[in-house]
Structure 1
């Protein structure tokens, strides 16, 4: 018999998590938080601007109030809605801190694919575009300019907090150059260049990414501090630098490919150089980091044999390649930097 003090509330909360997730994702898709960036609006005004059916308006908006993403002044039809602090900072498309690009990708791609998680658990096979069209996730995303730009800006948005934390917490004083491998729009390179004027940074990614990265770099006014370089990190040598950064790169690949990338970084570094890998590292006991474990399941959905990993896993791989030592540097509640020194 169940303990009288136990109840099923947490089970229900977790199992209904897709209700709240999809409500937030739809709000971002509709541009709700951008619409509310300057003025508080009534439900009817929001419904008109976003073309919402009147049946849906108040459940939708008040649900977001209950979640803390909106605030409401007043009651009833005359009440006015405005952005909460988090939504104002991170979900207004006109803010430099916007992370909604990632949520847009969750909404347009991953939300549907996760419906096939049970199939992935039983087969070990990807449940994304590869299943439906025969093309890999990267092939699909990189073949369409609009989808590629959405993906790259999603990566930029999610990289901002960890890039700022890395700039603050890692000692760059003894280094003069940084190469960000898989640099997307150059967000990490631009952040480090802005915070550490002595650094010259290189953002390395596929040739199709370069025009998007160069546009972002020009908008930031950092063309003299950051270089955009193109190549394929599986077939080309990495640019030489004192520090090689890989943000959310290693988890996209299987173990053989992970080892290839770690060796490539080792070869690109001088003695005393550092490989900095930014990931949602799973705790070594695999008991507490829900985000890291769910991200690893997402790698199953996306790639099948790709996976996230622990700091201990990373340490073993780096020692096998020849790195002298490894340290783990927490960056944000969900992200850490695993740093291997040559």
Structure 2
């Protein structure tokens, strides 16, 4: 690296770090710190965004779609803006060889790095998606990117604390134990699914990317990448959130004691949770409300592991970042973890 490029790289790195630290402090760390005291004192962090205190979601309609999209958007818009800023900044301001060194290998070490790097983020699946797309564009290995994506939600330290105070520490323990297996296990498996030809193509793309990085263009590239990401990801995201908001009554029928511990209900709620989209830690008040209405622990355990990590919108946002078979594998595996969580909740007497 020439002496001309060094100051510019340094400025880009400092800018990225400032955005990450200040943004996460304002959007995540400070609000969640305060909310932890609310959870401890009130054993609640708010109403269920899914259906409030009602026993069923509103019937599918344009109004139901709009109501959910507005409530969801109000909860996550700041984090989504931060995710877009970071996802584009990763591509423009961080030297690609740095990403490759930390996350580019197809071994378990890169998966561990990706999972650990996700812990400070604490983003919902859709807000983390732009960052994941940025990491993949900088040739992060599929497994490391998957671990980063899933780790943001299922290993979210704030969500785990909220869960302990609101639902009970046994639920937090179940989530943590299965979450570690999900994040690092699925990340490792995703790396094993990549063929040598695909890995070599990624290395060639990385070398070309390094060679084509023109000096002095980092911030202009950042603005261009930010604009492209926003135009590509946000419109489809809004449409899918609207559709899921309208379809709430189909995904989650009437909640009550009739939703028991049968395998059928556990599987149904595992699939519904994987498809649906919620804000960060939204699963906590949703499960609390459903349990208060008499729903059994098995379906609640399924939602514990499937509501946060992925959703239809986040899968669509990352459709170009991973091979389809990897995203299909992750989707089916998340449902499997939900079923296991539901069965364990029943077996352990939650």
What TM-score does the superposition give when structure 2 sets the normalisation length?
0.28
> If each structure's helix is expressed as a fraction of its own residues, which one has the higher value?
2
Under a length normalisation based on structure 1, what TM-score does the superposition of the two structures give?
Answer: 0.28
Structure with the higher fraction of residues in strand conformation: 1
**Which of structures 1 and 2 has the bigger CA Rg?**
1
